[in-house]
């Protein structure tokens, strides 16, 4: 992608028409498109990260806890729920279809599920902000439940590819309208009960797999999904926690339609994707000693740890235990000089959301790091390969982007200005790059950090990142 195209992609992320909705005691800002925000991070060079910390609840699991609790029979109690914008939009979506939801203390949600027959068509479009997970999973779930509705989002989400879910759902009998280019808004129409299919995913995507399985939960017959590589399995694990029989064999998952969910209680662990910025920041700076507590250790999500260890990082797993069918642990990171590697392609799908942070780790390493097989990064909230390459180059990195990754030669950064293009993960990654920079770093367009990590700057400052927020 050329620099001009990258700028156009950045502008697509950032557009205009703000409105707010009230969810319990939280206000969530809605944007029909998203203009570049005035919020910036100003980050001065740092030497190490020290102390202990926790990160917000896992975003993927927070989405699913609301979806499954809302359609279960009985009251589901959720703790550790991520109070970020993405997951709050999912919560609002189920309020819109008639589910009674109560808020307790921080991260506490009670869902009074009355089963699938209690859901009703919403009175207006369901707005999902910047949430690709919410969009794709709700499309499968609502299509299977035959809940007519329109799903829409901000400028970034409304530019993301959705045929990867609407095509297999159409094979099941769903009626879903898209734009001519296959992007949202998605109009889910009335249809007959869906029919189970056997589907082979052309790309490794937990969102596609989950969307088809959730449609299959309410289809006639047995729905089977084959994947080309391992992806996160939160859907399969959590459905079992709600009493659903889901079969997994190797790269194949299947579900028999007609099963009902039973309410349960669950705790959402800390998000390993949010932990990744701190794992990288501490691992790449000698003198760092950081303990990140209560992190979800689902084996389909730990690729970032495996890759950092291959680069020479010292990361110890402590206090490993299980909560709600998910492994959880504390991670102790000791800083050192990382080394460049060729990232094994079999680990790419296990760390796809963590690659913006891993780009920074590669920029700190001695030698050359080669990332390939990561073309999925080009269709995230932004083209993350291009945004990270452009931003790191602006900070003085030696990086060449490729169609499916990048080649990065490690060196100290000079500092400067990096544009996150409104992407929460690139914004936090550029902030952490200050740990290997000789000059201050300004990160532009940082408001969307609240989609996954509210309070990032304050938590980061408490363990040694020299960061301030400016409007």
DSSP secondary structure string for all residues of 264-297: -EEEPPBPHHHHHHHHHHHHTSTT-EEEEEEEE-
- Cβ partners under 8 Å of residue 406, min gap 6: 359, 362, 370, 371, 385, 388, 389, 399, 400
Please work out, in degrees rounded to the nearest 5, the angle formed at the alpha carbon of residue 258 by the alpha carbons of 117 and 175: 70
98 Cβ contact partners less than 8 Å away, ≥ 6 residues apart: 118, 119, 120
Do 348 and 406 contact (CB within 8 A), yes or no? no
* Look-up of token digits 């942070």: 357
Q: Which of 271, 353, 401, 419 is catalytic?
A: 353
Q: Counting Cβ atoms within 10 Å, is residue 295 exposed (0-12), middle (13-18) or buried (19+)?
A: buried
Q: What is the dihedral of CA 269, 274, 278, 280, to 10 degrees?
A: 120
Count the neighbouring beta carbons within 10 Å of the beta carbon of residue 250: 8
Candidates 457, 460, 461, 454; CA nearest to 470 is 457
**Which tokens hold the place of 386?**
């291009």
Distance of alpha carbon 9 from alpha carbon 154, whole angstroms: 14
Peptide bond into 185 cis (omega under 30): yes
First and final CA of the chain: distance in angstroms?
A: 30
Pairing between β-strand 466-470 and β-strand 40-44 as defined by DSSP bridges:
antiparallel
353 catalytically annotated: yes
How would you classify the pairing of strands 109-114 and 100-103?
A: antiparallel
What is residue 180's DSSP assignment?
Answer: T
Could you say which DSSP state residue 193 is in? P
Sequential DSSP letters for 8-24: HHHHHH----EEEEEET
Instruction: Report the catalytic residues.
Output: 353
């Amino acid at each position: 992608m050329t620099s001009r195209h990258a700028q156009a992609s950045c502008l697509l992320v950032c557009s205009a028409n703000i409105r707010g909705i009230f969810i319990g005691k939280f206000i969530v800002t809605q944007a029909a498109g998203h203009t570049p925000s005035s919020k910036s991070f100003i980050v001065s060079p740092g030497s190490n990260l020290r102390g202990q910390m926790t990160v917000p609840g896992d975003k993927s699991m927070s989405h699913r806890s609301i979806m499954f609790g809302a359609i279960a029979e009985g009251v589901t109690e959720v703790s550790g729920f991520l109070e970020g914008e993405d997951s709050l939009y999912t919560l609002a979506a189920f309020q819109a279809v008639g589910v009674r939801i109560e808020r307790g203390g921080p991260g506490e949600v009670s869902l009074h599920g009355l089963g699938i027959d209690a859901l009703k068509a919403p009175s207006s479009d369901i707005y999902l902000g910047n949430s690709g997970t919410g969009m794709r999973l709700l499309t499968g779930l609502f299509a299977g439940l035959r809940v007519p509705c329109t799903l829409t989002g901000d400028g970034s989400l409304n530019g993301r590819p959705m045929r990867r879910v609407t095509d297999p759902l159409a094979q099941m009998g769903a009626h879903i309208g898209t734009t001519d280019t296959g992007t949202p808004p998605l109009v889910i129409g009335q249809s007959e009960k869906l029919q189970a299919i056997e589907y082979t995913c052309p790309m490794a995507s937990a969102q596609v797999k989950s969307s088809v399985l959730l449609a299959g939960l309410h289809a006639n017959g047995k729905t089977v999904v084959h994947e080309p590589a391992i992806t996160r399995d939160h859907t399969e694990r959590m459905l079992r926690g709600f009493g659903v029989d889901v079969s997994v064999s190797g790269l194949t998952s299947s579900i028999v339609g007609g099963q009902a969910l039973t309410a349960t209680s669950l705790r959402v662990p800390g998000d390993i994707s949010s932990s990744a910025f701190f794992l990288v920041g501490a691992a790449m700076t000698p003198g760092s000693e950081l303990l990140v507590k209560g992190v979800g250790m689902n084996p389909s999500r730990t690729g970032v740890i495996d890759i950092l260890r291959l680069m020479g990082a010292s990361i110890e797993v402590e206090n490993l235990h299980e909560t709600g069918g998910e492994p959880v642990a504390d991670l102790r990171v000791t800083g050192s000089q990382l080394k460049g590697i060729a990232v094994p392609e079999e680990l790419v799908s296990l760390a796809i959301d963590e690659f913006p942070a891993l780009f920074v780790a590669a920029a700190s390493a001695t030698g050359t790091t080669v990332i390939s097989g990561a073309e999925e990064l080009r269709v995230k909230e932004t083209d993350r390969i291009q945004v990270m390459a452009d931003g790191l180059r602006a900070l003085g990195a030696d990086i060449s982007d490729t169609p499916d990754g990048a080649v990065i030669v490690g060196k100290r950064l000079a500092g400067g200005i990096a544009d996150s293009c409104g992407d929460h993960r690139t914004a936090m990654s550029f902030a952490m790059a200050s740990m290997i920079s000789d000059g201050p770093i300004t990160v532009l367009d940082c408001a969307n950090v609240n989609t996954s990590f509210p309070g990032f700057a304050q938590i980061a400052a408490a363990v040694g990142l020299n960061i301030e927020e400016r409007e």
